[in-house]
């Protein structure tokens, strides 16, 4: 391999437009969910007895989740984490559309953030379902967008940005168009857990 070819093979890869758009949309929706949760939290601070817009019925209510210790795991409201971190995929998506190419270390750090996000929302899901016993609508909105953000971001990185061997990179390139299956399985598992633990949920919602 010539030095020119070697430099080309290690140059930052251009990312698909679809990935950029997914980053932007999921980031914006995540910001919206975090912002709404922050507003509800401030409303509770001002008046602990105020009815919240997301308190829909005994099964779907964000008040108990927001006021739980799990809702402020690091000593401050969890939505503040979302307000800070969901700006990252929006920035990355816009930068990709503008033609930016990021080095491998950047994608590694970005994926560490995605991994932290997916672990955090799955932990919060288990706490919401098994411990707190109510479902927070805006929290579920954050779950909804974090799952595809993680899976598509990770598979895309494995396919293009981590410098894997040729066969491994080729495998993930072939997997990328089917990432929606992984996302659907993740959704299905969460929905199954929710319906199993809230058997009357659908009856209450549609009655």
How much is the pLDDT for 10?
62
- Give dist(CA 205, CA 26) in Å, integer: 26
In a domain, 12, yes or no: no
pTM, two decimal places: 0.92
Name the pLDDT band for 1 (thresholds 50, 70, 90).
very low
Q: SS in 3 state form for the chain?
A: CCHHHHHHHHCCCCCCHHHHHHHHHHHHHHHHHHHHHHHHHHHHHHCCCCCCCCCCCCCECCHHHHHCHHHHCCCCCHHHHHHHHCHHHHHHHHHHHCCCCCCHHHHHHHHHHHHHHHHHHHHHHHHHHHHHCCECHHHHHHHHHHHHHHHHHHHHHHHHCCCCCHHHHHHHHHHHHHHHHHHHHHHHHHHHHHHHHCCCHHHHHHC
Return the biggest CA–CA distance within the chain. 71
How much is the pLDDT for 23?
98
In a domain, 5, yes or no: no
Task: Report percent pLDDT > 70 for the chain.
Answer: 95
For 133-152, what is the mean pLDDT?
Answer: 98
In a domain, 185, yes or no: yes
Phi and psi, residue 50, nearest 5°: -70, 135
In a domain, 179, yes or no: yes
Can you give the residue range of the structural domain that contains 171? 17-206
In a domain, 165, yes or no: yes
For 102-126, what is the mean pLDDT?
Answer: 97
In a domain, 121, yes or no: yes
Helix axes of 104-126 and 87-97: crossing angle, nearest 10 degrees: 140
How much is the pLDDT for 8?
43
- Quick: pLDDT tens for 5-33: 444 456 688 899 999 999 999 999 999 99
- Quick: pLDDT tens for 26-62: 999 999 999 999 999 999 999 988 889 999 999 999 9
How much is the pLDDT for 3?
45
How much is the pLDDT for 9?
52
In a domain, 38, yes or no: yes
Mean pLDDT of the chain: 93
How much is the pLDDT for 14?
85
In a domain, 10, yes or no: no
Query: Is residue 177 predicted with pLDDT exceeding 90?
Result: yes
Which residues, at least 6 apart from 77, have a Cβ–Cβ distance to it below 8 Å? Answer: 37, 38, 41, 66, 71
Q: State the CATH number of the domain containing residue 153.
A: 1.20.1440.130
Q: How many domains does the chain have?
A: 1
- Quick: pLDDT tens for 121-138: 999 999 999 999 999 999
Query: Is residue 103 predicted with pLDDT exceeding 60?
Result: yes
């Amino acid at each position: 391999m010539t030095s020119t070819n070697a430099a080309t093979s290690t140059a930052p890869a251009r990312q698909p437009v679809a990935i950029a758009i997914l980053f932007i949309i999921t980031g914006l929706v995540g910001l919206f969910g975090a912002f709404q949760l922050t507003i509800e939290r401030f409303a509770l601070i001002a008046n602990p007895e105020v009815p919240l817009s997301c308190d829909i019925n005994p099964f779907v209510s964000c008040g108990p989740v927001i006021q739980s210790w799990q809702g402020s795991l690091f000593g401050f409201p969890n939505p503040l984490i979302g307000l800070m971190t969901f700006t990252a995929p929006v920035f990355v998506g816009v930068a990709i559309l503008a033609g930016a190419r990021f080095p491998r270390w950047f994608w590694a750090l970005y994926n560490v953030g995605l991994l932290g996000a997916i672990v955090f929302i799955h932990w919060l899901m288990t706490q919401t379902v098994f411990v707190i016993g109510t479902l927070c609508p805006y929290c579920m909105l954050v779950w909804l967008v974090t799952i595809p953000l993680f899976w598509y971001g990770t598979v895309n990185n494995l396919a293009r940005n981590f410098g894997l061997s040729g066969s491994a990179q080729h495998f993930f390139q072939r997997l990328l168009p089917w990432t929606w299956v992984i996302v659907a399985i993740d959704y299905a598992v969460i929905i199954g857990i929710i319906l199993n633990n809230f058997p009357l949920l659908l009856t209450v919602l549609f009655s």
